[in-house]
Amino acid sequence: MQIDIVSVFPEYFDITGLSLLGKAQEKGLVTIKAYNLRDWTHDVHHSVDDTPVGGGAGMVMKPEVWAECLDDLLGAGGTGRAGGQATDPVLIFPNPSAPLFTQADATGLSQASRLVFGCGRYEGYDARIPDYYRSRGVDVREYSIGDYVLNGGEVAVSVMLEAITRLLPGFMGNPDSIVEESYTGEEPLLEHRQYTRPTTWRGMTVPEVLISGDHQRVDRFRRDEALERTSRIRPDLIGRLDCDRLDKKDRKTLEGLGWRVGPGPHPVKDDGPVSR
Ligand SMILES: C[S@@+](CC[C@H](N)C(=O)[O-])C[C@H]1O[C@@H](n2cnc3c(N)ncnc32)[C@H](O)[C@@H]1O
């Protein structure tokens, strides 16, 4: 996978040389390049922003500079070709007022051969930039990483980058470690709680079932704990489960937690609708 990142602080991405992501680059699984947007400016101040049309506080990132940069990275006119080769790029802009980035998005994007990220700053980027590249046939995505506002897109890109690249085949030493995780799979739930040795620490003992050696009981205990934690912390995820995929024991656990399982397609909370 090739990843290009455009930012006014490209040094921020020096951290991608560390840890597992650094190793993945050494192994050739992923190539990450960070570019300075100011390299595409022509004025003496290397300005990338201007005042908002219609008035208001702050500054907005200019479309001309972004377009010169993205045309170079994506190919002339942003047709999605670089160096004469079709590269199937996905262009991604972090944006707090966009749909939330989820594990399902990370999974989908981990199949792409090339990602180009554009980091916003100030009050954000001119809204015509993503629209223009969409109109050129580029797969453009805008994502928020949460309901809060950061100073710039660099942190958000780091978050997405890590969520995506850890799903690349060969990235994890033990591939099983990404199979049973929170939000993962056909039935995204929060994960059960985890413990390690010693089994008794400062008078606190791990649940007895986990040291029983009975794998069936362990699996059931973990599944029930995942259902209970998800019901309490993220009831919206329970409300999206497919009733047909729930076994008898799942149903019993959910009913004990105040959910009606069936006759509809998804569980329904006895005391009314749930939202995030
Ligand atoms: C200060 S923010 C702009 C906030 C914008 N004026 C608003 O109120 O929605 C500057 C840049 O930081 C990035 N950013 C900030 N918060 C983010 C979030 N929660 N998710 C994704 N990107 C974010 C985006 O790239 C954004 O263009």
Q: Are residues 62 and 132 in the same domain?
A: yes
Q: Indicate the pLDDT class of residue 248, thresholds 50, 70 and 90.
A: very high
Distance from the CA of 236 to the center of ligand 1, in angstroms? 25
Distance from the CA of 165 to the center of ligand 1, in angstroms? 22
pLDDT tens per residue, range 187-230: 889 999 999 999 999 999 999 999 999 999 999 999 999 999 99
Question: What CATH number is associated with residue 253?
Answer: 1.10.1270.20
Question: What CATH number is associated with residue 44?
Answer: 3.40.1280.10
Could you say which of 175, 190, 224 is where a domain stops? 175
Q: Are residues 139 and 262 in the same domain?
A: no
Phi-psi region of 139 (alpha: psi -120 to 50; beta: other; left: phi over 0): beta
Could you say which of 175, 210, 244 is where a domain stops? 175
Q: Are residues 206 and 148 in the same domain?
A: no
Whose CA is closest to 102, among 47, 192, 164, 166? Answer: 164
Angle at 242 between CA 239 and CA 248, to 5 degrees: 100
What pLDDT score was predicted for residue 84?
41
In a domain, 184, yes or no: no
pLDDT tens per residue, range 73-131: 998 655 554 444 445 799 999 999 999 999 999 999 999 999 999 999 999 999 999 99
Q: Are residues 228 and 163 in the same domain?
A: no
Pocket of ligand 1 (CB under 6 A): 94-97, 119-121, 123-125, 144-146, 148-153, 156
| Total number of domains in the chain | 2
Phi-psi region of 19 (alpha: psi -120 to 50; beta: other; left: phi over 0): left
Helices (H), 52-97: 63-74
The owner of tokens 């994502």 is 143
Q: Are residues 134 and 90 in the same domain?
A: yes
Whose CA is closest to 117, among 168, 146, 155, 85? Answer: 155
In a domain, 193, yes or no: no
The owner of tokens 């951290």 is 15
Distance from the CA of 264 to the center of ligand 1, in angstroms? 38
Q: Are residues 39 and 153 in the same domain?
A: yes
Whose CA is closest to 155, among 167, 168, 145? Answer: 145
Q: Which residues are annotated as a binding site?
A: 120, 145-150
In a domain, 195, yes or no: no
Q: Which residues are annotated as a binding site for S-adenosyl-L-methionine?
A: 120, 145-150
Q: Which domain holds residue 224?
A: 200-269
Write out the H or E segment, with its range, that includes residue 6: strand 2-7
Whose CA is closest to 207, among 191, 190, 225? Answer: 225
In a domain, 168, yes or no: yes
Q: Are residues 64 and 14 in the same domain?
A: yes
Q: Are residues 161 and 255 in the same domain?
A: no
- 90 close to 82: Cβ distance less than 8 angstroms: no
Distance from the CA of 144 to the center of ligand 1, in angstroms? 8
In a domain, 265, yes or no: yes
Closest C-alpha to ligand 1, atom 4: 123
Residues 6+ apart with CB under 8 A from 1: 29, 30, 31, 110, 112, 113, 114, 115, 165, 168
Q: Are residues 29 and 138 in the same domain?
A: yes
Has residue 175 got a pLDDT over 90?
Answer: no
Query: Nearest 5°: phi and psi at 148?
Result: -160, 165
Could you say which of 141, 175, 209 is where a domain stops? 175
Mutate to test the pocket of ligand 1, among 126, 145, 149 (most ligand atoms within 8 A of CB): 149
Q: Are residues 46 and 169 in the same domain?
A: yes
In a domain, 262, yes or no: yes
Atom of ligand 1 nearest to the CA of 151: 1
What pLDDT score was predicted for residue 254?
98
- 123 close to 154: Cβ distance less than 8 angstroms: no
Distance from the CA of 112 to the center of ligand 1, in angstroms? 24
**Other beta carbons less than 10 A from residue 114's beta carbon:** 20
Given the DSSP bridges, would you call strands 200-201 and 114-118 parallel, antiparallel or unpaired? unpaired
With pLDDT > 70 as the criterion, what percentage of the chain qualifies? 96
Has residue 273 got a pLDDT over 80?
Answer: no
Question: What is the mean pLDDT of the segment spanning 64-68?
Answer: 98
Write out the H or E segment, with its range, that includes residue 108: helix 103-109
With pLDDT > 90 as the criterion, what percentage of the chain qualifies? 87
Show the tokens assigned to 118.
């554009």
Q: Are residues 129 and 39 in the same domain?
A: yes
pLDDT tens per residue, range 12-43: 999 999 999 999 999 999 999 999 999 999 99
| Cα atoms in the 13 Å half-sphere on the side-chain side of 190 | 15
Q: Are residues 21 and 155 in the same domain?
A: yes
What pLDDT score was predicted for residue 78?
58
Task: Out of 2-6, 176-180, 224-228, pick the least confident.
Answer: 176-180
In a domain, 180, yes or no: no
